[in-house]
Copies of this chain bind each other. A is one copy, B any other.
Amino acid sequence: MNPTIELLNSHRSIRKFKDQKIPRDLFETIIRAGQSAATSSHVQAYSIIHVVNPENRAKLVELTGGQTYVADSSDFLVFCADMKRPTEAAERAGAEVVRGMMEQLLVASVDTALMAQNIAVAAESEQLGICYIGGIRNHPADVSEILRLPEHVYPVFGMCLGYPDQNPEVKPRLPLASILKEDYYQDEQDLAQIGAFDDTMRTYYLERTGGNKETNWSEQLKPLFTSKLRPHMSSFLKARGFEMK
């Protein structure tokens, strides 16, 4: 296994950071590595807001549900799907632009995620730690106001970056056979595989908590799907010009 693949396999989220800043030139190197990711039709439908202002970072801690590392990490980024820049560029070149298509929302969201993952890998290759912050979608309208996001731009997720001050274990993943299927979607084996994975996760949680947390993968998923998680997302996106037509 080569060092890059070893690096990928060693990923775990870091939620406690040293009080040490990432040098600006390294920070820019990492962002540029993000830009090198594939982008649909070269559209590059993303913007990153680098939140430096301490008051805004404190507000974002609140808006993401009290995740203090949003303020305590060296750098906090909000990754935005951005259909404003490319559609306006096409418009200036003379196109009569159609906006609000579902396809555009997908393209921009996927472009943003590919770029962010390259940033995660680049950061970790420099012994930095990262944590994605999906909680940025808890209150996306407030986040958009703080960051002054215009129409056709929406915050997909955040990311903390910094020097790790903890060394958590790598979290197990589903068996390869569950997620990789040959030729057709087959899930006859899923039940047995998920049962085995539930056992794996049960052991993982017990060992990590000295026997105090007895749960498993399926149990952990329950609160995600029993309630309408982030039920505002559909109306929020429509209000921002992502009409899902």
Contacts and interface: CB of A to CB of B under 8 A. Distances in A.
A86 B221 contact: yes
A110 B107 contact: no
Contacts of A245: 228, 231, 234
B53 A183 contact: yes
A237 interface: yes
A79 to B, nearest CB: 10
Given A13-B38, A114-B113, A230-B103, A43 B179 contact: no
Number of copies: 2
A107 B110 CA distance: 11
A107 to B, nearest CB: 7
Contact of A89 (B94, B104, B218): B218
Interface string A123-137: 001100010101001
A49 interface: yes
A68 interface: no
Contact of A149 (B8, B35, B185, B223): B185
B92 A52 contact: no
Of all A-B residue pairs in the complex, the 5 with the closest CB atoms, nearest first, are A113-B113, A4-B125, A117-B117, A93-B218, A102-B234
Interface of A: 1-5, 7-11, 13, 28-33, 35-38, 40-44, 46-53, 56, 80, 82, 84-87, 89-99, 101-104, 106-107, 109-110, 113-114, 116-118, 120-122, 125-126, 130, 132, 134, 137, 147-150, 153, 156-157, 170-171, 173-174, 176, 178-187, 190, 194, 217-231, 233-234, 237, 244-245
